[in-house]
Structure 1
Amino acid sequence: MSNEPNESTELSEPWITAVARADGTGMISVDGAQSDIRANDVAEVRAAIIARVTDEAKARNQRVLVAITDLDGVYLLSVHPDGNVESEGPVVPDAGAAAQGATAAESGTEPAHTQEPEPETRPTRQPSPAEGPARGAGPTRAVLNPAFGEATPVIPPPPFGIDDLIDFAESGSEPTPHHDKGFEPAPTRRSTFRSYSEESDLSQNNSGSAAPAEGAPSATARSAAGKTAEEPASVEATEPTFDQLLPTPGRREKASASSTEGEPEAAPTLEDFLQSRPSAPEGPAKQGWQGAVRRVTGGLISPRPGKAERAHRDAIRRVQRSLKGPRTIVVLNPKGGAHKTTATLLLAATFGTHRGGSTLAWDNNETRGTLGWRAQPSVHSNTAVDLLRDLGRFSDVESARVGYLDNYVRGQGDAQFDVLASDEDAAASSTIDADAFRSLHSTLSRFYRVLVIDTGNNMRASNWEAAVEAADQLVVVTTVNEETAASAAWLIDGLRQKGHQDKVSQAVTILSSPGDTVQPELTQRLRSHFSALTRVVLEVPYDPGFQGGGPLNVDVLSPQTREAWLQVTAAVADGL
């Protein structure tokens, strides 16, 4: 027997709104009665919301609607007494959440929370017989969104119906209440979630014949729009790189044939066939409310991944991209306390975790640095000085093995990267110079795909300058602090004067928060200055796990911090 009530027994539908925040807190309001939700993470908050709405549907023996607000926007869900969850239209976008989402995706942080708004009150209205039972959804209006601190659409109470809300979600135009329209509402439209595999098959079947929608941006416009706000799209053609000038396997003959007038094009090759294959479909959602719905329904309902999860997956793909040989990343700021060592460790940890090893964090201080102290300890205390002394063991390419390096580098466990410490002997008088750096770099590049190099504070040291010369990607790190930022600006001026303009223009700047106090005016000044000089400027949040000065354990960092550094590492990988 169906659990769906008939019109004669259907109860008045409750008015339910909810908010899910990234810090593991949330709120649900049922007919104006508001209650807070606290959990370990946002996934548990979403699961608690769906469970609470399911209980409400069971108690009333009818399906109920809920509007859930999070970083992606406002989601309209229909929950039935049997636990079935359906979508009542696409995500309702809004300028406030979009702006916050762009900042969060770029910096890897969640927007600050603000004071909760007063709960919505729901006036009652008796529907006409033609309209049927009252519906609990209406058009959106801007209120202060507690999740993002911005003007965000929140669903107000009747007299608007669910059809109005779906019209708004599909068209983006604000509807008119039923009693102003002067006609009876159409039957409720409801679209059940397709599984992700079904949507992928549908999109692939239609990809060959679908024409661009009227008013849709062209590929050129989309490419230009994809640039960061600090980097306007350029209409000038850029010079091709050396790699771009290399012939593509399987296409050299075709290019040669097409260049000869009157001769037919060469037959397609295996390479052409393999490159024509469609991309493999992505798996179902694991994060966000989409992942919560999938877990609650045991996978019977499998929505597409949300915006935040898609950005997360894209960042991982960029970190894992193929490299044409070993690549060297150099982390710079001539002032101590700029978070260079922290940045070096977290970049190496992110590369190592997602690339499966072959990553080295190297302290290239001419005397003593702190990278070895901040890393997980090893059974030995050997450093770069010891490796330099025994470098002859690795001179024979055929007999040298990567395993021999274990006595000089310090493995970092699950993070899957190694650390090469600088000299830790307080009585030592030797230093690492440019020749020593080049010898070490030449050998280490044979065993590691990615080398992340921490530098000292002396821009005039010969090993410092040698590291910059060897760099494939520069990373400028500064805390949001006047003195440290001035040191970073001075560094960039010096690099440009020494002929490294190209490396500076492709550099990544990291603005690291020194504490939990936000300084929006200074942050904006730093973004404005460094975005005019470097390829991209990204912000990373303060994390209590950075404190103490002891070994840095990535596992104790918050999910927001780890996501921020994933986005930073992806931006660095883009330059490799």
Structure 2
Amino acid sequence: MSHPSTDPLFDPLTGPVSDRPAPETVAPPPVAPPPVDEHTAMRGSHLSPAGPPPTSPPPPPPAAPPATPTAGPTAGPTAVPTAEAPAEPRRFMTATDFLDRRDSETTLGPATWGWRGRVRRWSGGLVKPAMGAKERAYEADRSAIQKDFDGPRTIAFVNPKGGAAKTTGVLAAGYTFGTVRGGGVVAWDNNETRGTLGMRGTRGSHRNTTRELLEDLGRFKDVYQSRIGDLGAFVRSQGDAHFDVLASDERPDVTGVIHASDFAEVHQLLERFYRILLIDTGNNLRAENWLAAAGAADLLVVTSTVREDTGFSGLWMLDALQDAGHENLKYKTITVLSDPSPKVDEGLARDLVQVYEQRTRGVYRVPYDPALVSGSVVPYAELSADTRRSWLRACAAMATAL
């Protein structure tokens, strides 16, 4: 047992420490804070940690803003920045934003068609009726054709039956895309041997074709030295139609055919210089260059006349492509159905429209036009207004599908 005088828990006067009541704690007298100069008071929360302690507990921090503020009906002033959520800079309208907004607010001009257009002209422009439904649709189709693409686009016109209006379709589409878009369009006769696109298009000052281009491809190997003007020795300008034609082989002494590798080289070259490539295919579904064109196309256009044989041939071709593994044919294909004469079997026409609507994105009827059936050079300026309007609608659908 330890001695009381040496036990750390025993006091000689008061007894054991553990038996004593705890002494009351007396707070030190308050100390007045030192005087604060004006500049220190302005700094507020930026006082140095080494400064004097506050005389009262600090106020609680302000409540944090909600994690996802709800935007009001109108834009208010920029929020006051906090340590938890610094304010974002105010969003101002840029010059590009301004132009985009102005473009989206652009309205169509006064009517030029029908009685509305006559009223505007007779009144000397004092009365300006708005466009009717047909004129608005016409302007919408033009806008669709004029859309921008992020690269060249290839459209192949296909039907293994001769006389299915492939060549006239390519030329009419070339005229429409060329005049509405303003150039950058080429129509290419990718026939296995000899096609008629070069004969039906405007004749050029030379007779060079795909065959001569293949023989002289070396001059285009250097992408920094070759120019689109160099292609002028091989393509044929269509004048006011604003597109070019690359004809197929026209030499009777040549027996060779165009292979898949030949197609690939010419296609790659044309993609360097043109934005829209319209390909007139031959009639041999099993030819290498036909299959290469179908595989490279961004869009297939099935052309047919209102005849049972050409309509059947187009459907048979779609069945063959489906069996060969081509996917999404319905969304990659449209149909152009042409009237071969002034009077056609409307019952057959309805059947063809119905079945092709099931197999492709849409069916577009083109009326009979004597300018397209003579077999000679297509006189673009002589195409009827109905023919031009029908092809405008069909080409707008092509551009939309691209």
Deviation per CA, 1:156-198: give whole Å up to 9, x if none.
xxxxxxxxxxxxxxxxxxxxxxxxxxxxxxxxxxxxxxxxxxx
Q: How does 1:140-289 map to 2 (within 5 A)?
A: 268=91, 270=94, 272-277=97-102, 278-289=104-115
The residue matched to 2:109 in structure 1 has which SS? coil
Residue 281 of structure 2: which of 455, 476, 499 is its match?
455
Deviation per CA, 1:16-41: give whole Å up to 9, x if none.
xxxxxxxxxxxxxxxxxxxxxxxxxx
The residue matched to 2:115 in structure 1 has which SS? helix
Q: Which amino acid aligns with 2:263?
A: F
TM-superposed CA distance for 1:473, in Å, is 0.9
Within 2, Cα distance between the matches of 1:265 and 1:528? 57
Within 2, Cα distance between the matches of 1:262 and 1:475? 57
Q: Does the alignment pair 1:514 with 2:340? A: yes
Other-structure match for 1:531: 357
Change (3 A) 1:487 1:297: same
The residue matched to 2:359 in structure 1 has which SS? coil
Deviation per CA, 1:450-508: give whole Å up to 9, x if none.
00000000110011111111101110000010011000000111111122231443311
TM-score, structure 1 normalization: 0.53
The residue matched to 1:341 in structure 2 has which SS? helix
Within 2, Cα distance between the matches of 1:566 and 1:325? 22
Within 1, Cα distance between the matches of 2:391 and 2:163? 18
Within 2, Cα distance between the matches of 1:459 and 1:548? 27
The residue matched to 2:284 in structure 1 has which SS? coil
Other-structure match for 2:195: 369
Q: Percent same amino acid among aligned pairs? A: 48
Within 1, Cα distance between the matches of 2:272 and 2:292? 18
Other-structure match for 1:425: 251
Within 2, Cα distance between the matches of 1:497 and 1:262? 60
TM-superposed CA distance for 1:554, in Å, is 1.3
Other-structure match for 1:445: 271
Change (3 A) 1:267 1:478: farther
Other-structure match for 2:231: 405
Residue 295 of structure 2: which of 463, 469, 472 is its match?
469
Other-structure match for 1:385: 211
Within 2, Cα distance between the matches of 1:466 and 1:564? 29
The residue matched to 1:398 in structure 2 has which SS? coil
Within 2, Cα distance between the matches of 1:274 and 1:300? 29
TM-score, structure 2 normalization: 0.76
Residue 296 of structure 1: which of 103, 106, 122 is its match?
122
Change (3 A) 1:550 1:265: farther
Within 1, Cα distance between the matches of 2:89 and 2:294? 45
Q: How does 1:351-362 map to 2 (within 5 A)?
A: 351-362=177-188
Change (3 A) 1:263 1:432: farther
Deviation per CA, 1:301-354: give whole Å up to 9, x if none.
111011111111111101101011100000000000000000000111100001
The answer on whether the counterparts of 2:235 and 2:244 sit within 8 Å (CA) in structure 1 is: yes
The residue matched to 2:272 in structure 1 has which SS? coil
Q: How does 1:6-21 map to 2 (within 5 A)?
A: none
The residue matched to 1:311 in structure 2 has which SS? helix
The answer on whether the counterparts of 1:495 and 1:504 sit within 8 Å (CA) in structure 2 is: no
Within 2, Cα distance between the matches of 1:330 and 1:455? 7
Q: Does the alignment pair 1:340 with 2:169? A: no
TM-superposed CA distance for 1:276, in Å, is 3.7
Within 2, Cα distance between the matches of 1:295 and 1:478? 41
The answer on whether the counterparts of 1:376 and 1:551 sit within 8 Å (CA) in structure 2 is: yes
The answer on whether the counterparts of 2:306 and 2:344 sit within 8 Å (CA) in structure 1 is: no
Deviation per CA, 1:402-456: give whole Å up to 9, x if none.
1111110000000000000000111211211100000000011000000000000
The answer on whether the counterparts of 1:364 and 1:453 sit within 8 Å (CA) in structure 2 is: yes
Other-structure match for 1:203: none
Q: How does 1:93-108 map to 2 (within 5 A)?
A: none
The answer on whether the counterparts of 1:288 and 1:309 sit within 8 Å (CA) in structure 2 is: no
The count of corresponding residues between Structure 1 and Structure 2 is: 317
Change (3 A) 1:264 1:298: same
Deviation per CA, 1:137-160: give whole Å up to 9, x if none.
xxxxxxxxxxxxxxxxxxxxxxxx
Higher relative contact order (CA 8 A, sep 6+): 2
Q: Does the alignment pair 1:329 with 2:147? A: no
Residue 394 of structure 1: which of 216, 220, 235 is its match?
220
The answer on whether the counterparts of 2:178 and 2:242 sit within 8 Å (CA) in structure 1 is: yes
The answer on whether the counterparts of 1:509 and 1:534 sit within 8 Å (CA) in structure 2 is: yes
Change (3 A) 1:388 1:262: farther
Deviation per CA, 1:356-379: give whole Å up to 9, x if none.
111000000010000001001111
The residue matched to 2:120 in structure 1 has which SS? helix
Within 2, Cα distance between the matches of 1:266 and 1:340? 58
Other-structure match for 1:481: 307
Structure 2: which 5+ runs fail to align? Answer: 1-83
Within 1, Cα distance between the matches of 2:147 and 2:331? 22
Q: How does 1:527-566 map to 2 (within 5 A)?
A: 527-566=353-392
TM-superposed CA distance for 1:530, in Å, is 0.8
TM-superposed CA distance for 1:295, in Å, is 1.2
Q: Which amino acid aligns with 2:240?
A: D
Change (3 A) 1:283 1:392: same
TM-superposed CA distance for 1:264, in Å, is 7.2
Within 1, Cα distance between the matches of 2:246 and 2:237? 9
C-alpha RMSD of the superposition: 1.8
Change (3 A) 1:485 1:267: farther
Within 2, Cα distance between the matches of 1:336 and 1:265? 66
Task: Tell which structure's C-alpha radius of gyration is larger.
Answer: 2
The residue matched to 1:445 in structure 2 has which SS? helix
TM-superposed CA distance for 1:262, in Å, is 7.6
The answer on whether the counterparts of 2:152 and 2:276 sit within 8 Å (CA) in structure 1 is: yes
TM-superposed CA distance for 1:274, in Å, is 4.5
Within 1, Cα distance between the matches of 2:392 and 2:192? 30
Q: Which amino acid aligns with 1:467?
A: A
